[in-house]
Amino acid sequence: MDGSKLKVFVDFDGTITTEDVGDSIFRKFGEPELVKTIIDDLHNNKISSRKCWDLLCASVNRIDENDLNKFIDEMKVNPTFKPFVNFCDENKVALFVLSDGFDFYIKRILSREGLSRLKFFANKLQVIGGKLVPEYPYFNPDYPSSANPKQNHIINNSSDDDYTIYIGDGNSDKEAAQYCDYIFAKNSLLKFCERERISYWPFKDFNDVTIRIKELLSKKRLKKRHQAQIKRKHAYEAE
């Protein structure tokens, strides 16, 4: 199969990085007990992602941008990710990073890793007067649970001719992954797929993903996931 027909969408926090950078920032600079309660409320579907980020930003009384940058620089990227990016480049596979986190740290981490060329979609964050100020340029009231509905970026960056692949691990991936033909899942996304009986491929790191995508590329034709086609069709009709 022609690699240019594949579109790969990958989560950032906890998938590309070894830990959730967004959560880690607030656990470090916010009020620990309050931060824990806010994150628990998100995972228990008591608050939306946007509300969660607003509350977490408000929980940080004052922050120095240099201290924040130093902390971000300690965050590690999975060592198998860069070889995977190179594999995608070599095979003309388009790769997009989708995050419900913030551009502030994503841009810095990708730049540090020599991966500034990767296209990503995320919420925005600024440090203004010692305060964390979030913005949500991709918020869509039709999907109120997400600050940055990833499925919109999947729809906008693929066509009916493409075979779409999703790689993720967490809460913000559950809805978006269902719009893709092939799902690589771990952690809470894996449990969600099992519970909802959505077909997926378990993975530990990007070496596992590379091996499987090589197999997909060796096939003449790939069968698209029927439920994903239906979801995409409804989304196209709604536009």
Mean pLDDT computed over every residue of the chain: 95
Once rounded to an integer, what is the mean pLDDT over residues 190-213? 97
Residue 207 has pLDDT above 70, yes or no: yes
Residue 140 has pLDDT above 80, yes or no: yes
Kind of pairing between the strands at 119-128 and 201-202? unpaired
CATH of 3-18+77-122+143-238, one of 3.40.47.40, 3.40.50.720, 2.60.40.1250, 3.40.50.1000: 3.40.50.1000
Residue 107 has pLDDT above 80, yes or no: yes
- The whole-model pTM stands at 0.96
Once rounded to an integer, what is the mean pLDDT over residues 93-112? 98
Residue 193 has pLDDT above 80, yes or no: yes
For residue 236, the model assigns a pLDDT of 78
| pLDDT tens-digit series, residues 33-56 | 999 999 999 989 899 999 999 999
Residue 239 has pLDDT above 70, yes or no: no
Residue 103 has pLDDT above 80, yes or no: yes
Residue 1 has pLDDT above 80, yes or no: no
| pLDDT tens-digit series, residues 6-16 | 999 999 999 99
Kindly tell me the number of DSSP H helices and DSSP E strands found in the chain: 11, 7
For residue 171, the model assigns a pLDDT of 86
Q: Where are the domains of the chain?
A: 3-18+77-122+143-238
Residue 235 — pLDDT band, cuts 50, 70, 90? Answer: confident
| pLDDT tens-digit series, residues 144-191 | 889 999 999 999 999 989 999 999 999 899 999 999 999 999 999 999
For residue 233, the model assigns a pLDDT of 87
For residue 3, the model assigns a pLDDT of 83
Kind of pairing between the strands at 201-202 and 182-185? parallel
Kind of pairing between the strands at 131-135 and 119-128? antiparallel
120 close to 94: Cβ distance less than 8 angstroms? no
SS3 call for 57: helix
For residue 234, the model assigns a pLDDT of 85
121 close to 96: Cβ distance less than 8 angstroms? yes
